[in-house]
C-alpha cells in the first residue's frame, strides 16, 4: 500500500513536469522576443533614445546575441521534448476515461471540480478514476 502511494507520487511529479515545461517555454519565448528586439534595435540604450555608434563593434554584439538565441532555442526544444514524452505516455494508456482525466489534470491543469463538470462525474469519482489511472500509467 505504501509502495503504491510512493509510486503514485512519483508519477504525479513526473506528470507535473508538463506544466513546468509550459511555464519555462513561455519564459524562454519572452526572453527570445526581447533578444530579437535588442538585435533589431541595438543602438537604443536604456533611455530609448538613439545614440551614436560608440557602442563598439555591432557585429560582435550580434554574434553574441545569436549565440544566446541558439542556447535559448535549445532549452526550448528540451521543454518541448518533455511535453511530447508525457503526452505520448498518456496516449499509450488503454482506458480513454483515464487518459482524459490525466490530460485534463496535468496538461490542461484543471481542478478536480472543473474535470468533474467537463466529464459529467462527481469530483470524488474523478479522483477515483485518477488514482486508477496513476496505477495504470507507465513512466518507462
The residue with greater pLDDT, 37 or 88, is 88
State the total domains in the chain: 1
pTM to 2 decimals?
A: 0.79
Give the percent of the chain with pLDDT over 90: 69
Q: Is pLDDT of 2 > 90?
A: no
The pair phi, psi for residue 23, each rounded to 5°, is -60, -40
- What's the domain range around 74? 2-136
Cell of 70: 541558439
pLDDT digits (tens, 9 = 90+) for 70-83: 999 999 999 999 99
Residue whose entry in the numeric block shows the C-alpha cell 535549445: 74
Output the DSSP codes for 43-74.
Answer: TB-TTS-B--STT--HHHHHHHHHHHHHHHHH
Integer Cα distance of 9 and 12 in angstroms: 5
Which residues are 44's β-sheet partners?
50
pLDDT of residue 47: 55
Q: Are 44 and 91 in contact (CB under 8 A)?
A: no
Query: Per-residue pLDDT tens for 27-59?
Result: 999 998 888 887 777 655 555 555 544 455 677
CA distances from residue 113 to 11, 35, 99, 105 in whole angstroms, order as listed = 21, 40, 17, 11
133, 12 contact by CB (below 8 A) = no
Measured CA distances, 21 to 1, 26, 91 (Å): 31, 9, 18
Amino acid at each position: 500500500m505504501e509502495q503504491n502511494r510512493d509510486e503514485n507520487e512519483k508519477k504525479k511529479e513526473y506528470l507535473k513536469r508538463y506544466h513546468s515545461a509550459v511555464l519555462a517555454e513561455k519564459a524562454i519565448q519572452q526572453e527570445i522576443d526581447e533578444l530579437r528586439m535588442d538585435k533589431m534595435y541595438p543602438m537604443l540604450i536604456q533611455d530609448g533614445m538613439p545614440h551614436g555608434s560608440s557602442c563598439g563593434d555591432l557585429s560582435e554584439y550580434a554574434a553574441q546575441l545569436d549565440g544566446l538565441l541558439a542556447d535559448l532555442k535549445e532549452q526550448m526544444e528540451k521543454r518541448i521534448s518533455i511535453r511530447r514524452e508525457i503526452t505520448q505516455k498518456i496516449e499509450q494508456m488503454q482506458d480513454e476515461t483515464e487518459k482524459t482525466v490525466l490530460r485534463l489534470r496535468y496538461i490542461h491543469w484543471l481542478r478536480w471540480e472543473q474535470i468533474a463538470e467537463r466529464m459529467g462525474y462527481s469530483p470524488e469519482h474523478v479522483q477515483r478514476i485518477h488514482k486508477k489511472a496513476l496505477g495504470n500509467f507507465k513512466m518507462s
